[in-house]
Every structure is written in structure tokens, then in C-alpha cells.
């Protein structure tokens, strides 16, 4: 009887621990604006988990985030947002702190980069460091053996960014199937 009571106590403690751990994990990797993410991901042929990974890396889902010249959830510059808005047919003043607008423009731009560069890591590097820098790197044998894929990213920040987005994408894929 003591063994059964111990087993029940152990299982109860384990269940409580598992619940608390799961709650903590979901609070560390939240998902907000899921409807917009899923809608825009589908519209531009992206994995919603990738978009969640980019948003988490860029702003931790803070729609008011600013980092120098970039704004909002997906940290778009005004120039990139204006260019993307023209491509998707958005007219008028663009509010990059408005989640739906930011996600839509960010998803369009990310899908454009993937199409341009044909490879996710290279597209993510361009999202972070700019298309011009990545194009230069691709034309250098020091960074690309084939001119299509980066073997070496010369900016440490961009290299870390690509790895973080991929890691966060996998986490979101496991948490939010």
C-alpha cells in the first residue's frame, strides 16, 4: 500500500511539474496575432512557424518594438515597408506598429527574398543584413562556393540571426503544431 501511495504521490508531483513546465515554456514562446500570421503566411507561401520565428527573433511579439530604423513585429524599415506596400497594393500611410500591416508586409518581403535567393538561410541573411550585402557576399568565393548559397556569413550578428530564427522556428513548430 505504501508503494502505491508513493507512486500516486510521484505521479501527482510529476503531473504538476509537467503542467508548470509547459506553462512556462508557452509563456516564454508566446504566439500573438496568430490569425494574421496564418493568413499572411498562406498568402505568401511561407510556413507560419517561420514567420513566428522571425517575429520572435525581431521583436518578441512586441508590435511597438523599434531598433534604430526598423519598426514593429517584423522590424521593417520605412523604405522596405514602402516598397513592399507598393508590391502588395497597399496605399496611404503605413503604420508599422499595426500588427496586420506589419505581418503582411514582412511576409511579402520574406517570401520575395526566398524567391530571389532560392534558399532560406541566404534569404534570412538578406532580411537581416540587406539584399545588397548578401549579393556581394554571394559573388565572393570567400563566402560562397557556388554564388547561390552562403557558406560563411561575414557579419557575426547576421550569422547569429540566421541560426536564431531557425532555432525559434523549430521551437514554434514543436509547440504550435
Write out the catalytic residue numbers: 58
110 in Cβ contact with 51 (< 8 Å): yes
Q: At what angle do helices 120-129 and 156-175 cross, to 10 degrees?
A: 120
Q: Hey, which residues does 70 pair with through a beta bridge?
A: 67, 77
CB of 64 within 8 A of CB of 58? no
Helix (H) or strand (E) holding 32: none
Helix intervals (H) in the chain: 2-28, 34-43, 48-59, 78-88, 99-117, 120-129, 131-138, 156-175
Distance of CA 77 to the CA centre of its chain: 16
Q: How many residues would you count in the chain?
A: 177
CB 43 within 8 A of CB 112: no
Amino acid at each position: 500500500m505504501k508503494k502505491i501511495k508513493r507512486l500516486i504521490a510521484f505521479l501527482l508531483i510529476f503531473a504538476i511539474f509537467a503542467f508548470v513546465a509547459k506553462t512556462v515554456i508557452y509563456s516564454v514562446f508566446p504566439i500573438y496575432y496568430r490569425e494574421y500570421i496564418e493568413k499572411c503566411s498562406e498568402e505568401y507561401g511561407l510556413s507560419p512557424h517561420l514567420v513566428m520565428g522571425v517575429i520572435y527573433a525581431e521583436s518578441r511579439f512586441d508590435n511597438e518594438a523599434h531598433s534604430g530604423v526598423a519598426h514593429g513585429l517584423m522590424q521593417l524599415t520605412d523604405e522596405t515597408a514602402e516598397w513592399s506596400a507598393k508590391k502588395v497594393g497597399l496605399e496611404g500611410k503605413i503604420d508599422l506598429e499595426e500588427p496586420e500591416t506589419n505581418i503582411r508586409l514582412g511576409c511579402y518581403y520574406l517570401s520575395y527574398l526566398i524567391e530571389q535567393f532560392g534558399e532560406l538561410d541566404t534569404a534570412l541573411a538578406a532580411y537581416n543584413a540587406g539584399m545588397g550585402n548578401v549579393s556581394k557576399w554571394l559573388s565572393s568565393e570567400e563566402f560562397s562556393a557556388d554564388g547561390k548559397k552562403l557558406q560563411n556569413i561575414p557579419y557575426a550578428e547576421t550569422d547569429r540571426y540566421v541560426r536564431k530564427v531557425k532555432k525559434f522556428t523549430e521551437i514554434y513548430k514543436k509547440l504550435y503544431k
